[in-house]
Amino acid sequence: MSLQSPLGKFLGHGSAKEGTEHWWSQRLTAVALVPLTLWFVFALLGMDSFEHAAVVAWISQPLHAVLLILLLMVTLHHSQLGLQVVVEDYVHSGWLKVPTLMTFKFLHVAVGVACIYSIIIISVGNAPGIAQ
Amino acid sequence: MPEIKRPLSPHLGVYKWEVANTLSIFHRAAGVFLSLGMLVLAAWIISAAMGQSTYDCVLGLLRGPLGIVLLFGLSAAVFFHLGNGIRHLVWDAGYGFDKHVARISGWFVFLASLVFTGLFWLGVKS
């Protein structure tokens, strides 16, 4: 039994239509992650202290906040795409596969939002002229 | 719906164990591990926003023996996945497919990731 409609069969696209989208996004995020990861590595190497005050001050710098948010967004997107392929390769039972994919996607978005929100409140809370 | 017995691929047994396939497996394993590592990075950032005491708790865990082992593993995974990822991007651009080139680039990426991990831990403060 095929779930493909006769029209879909005739047009030859299946239901996906964009077969290269996933592959391309994986590469695009990979390319972006090369400089972002190198920046983060050098940033960690440049930190004199990992105590709370030092880290908060570091994240509060606008350039650091923006680059950190970019790093998180792109990494989480890349991670989601990668884990999706892993799940699709190894989880074959449909009842387990779809909920796993959904859970992973939700988790990635949730972690991303929580991190970005954290960076924003750190930045705003410590920005000059704003009462703590 | 009856299960259709289609031939399965790859038949792992017919392949010679090689640098290329080992690094391919490492690449995926490192990627999955780094996905988990994002939770560590998230814990670090979120706890910093939650305040001193929560942050100190997270920092204490990361500075403990298990935390250091975890961070060391994550750093090694970062350098390997980054290096091998660049190797993959070069392949995607159409270069480096010759067997001996792929073998050399594989060893290069593997050894470079070890060197960079070592250098990172020598360079990072406290």
Share the mean pLDDT of chain B.
92
- Asked if residue A22 has pLDDT above 60, the reply is yes
Residue B60: CA count within 13 A, CB half-sphere: 6
CB contact under 8 A, A55 and B1: no
- Asked if residue A129 has pLDDT above 50, the reply is no
Q: What is the mean pLDDT of residues A7-23?
A: 71
- Residue A95, judged by CB atoms within 10 A of its CB (0-12, 13-18, 19+), counts as exposed
Comparing B3 with A45, the larger pLDDT belongs to A45
pLDDT at position B13 is: 72
Degrees, nearest 5: CA angle A88-A92-A98: 65
Give percent of chain A with pLDDT exceeding 70.
86
The answer to which of A25-34, A107-116, B95-104 has the lowest mean pLDDT is B95-104
pLDDT at position A131 is: 42
- Asked if residue A130 has pLDDT above 70, the reply is no
Reported ipTM: the value is 0.88
The answer to which of A1-10, A67-76, B42-51 has the lowest mean pLDDT is A1-10
Q: What is the mean pLDDT of residues A87-105?
A: 93
Per-residue pLDDT tens for A58-76?
A: 999 999 999 999 999 999 9
- Decide: A127 and A83 in contact? Cβ < 8 Å: no
| CA–CA gap between residue B104 and residue B119 (Å, rounded) | 22
- Asked if residue B14 has pLDDT above 80, the reply is no
| CA–CA gap between residue A8 and residue A37 (Å, rounded) | 42
| CA–CA gap between residue B19 and residue B102 (Å, rounded) | 9
Q: What is the mean pLDDT of residues B53-79?
A: 97
Chain B contact residues (CB < 8 Å to A): 1, 28, 31-32, 34-35, 38-39, 41-42, 44-46, 48-52, 55-56, 59, 78, 82, 85-86, 88-89, 92, 120, 123-126
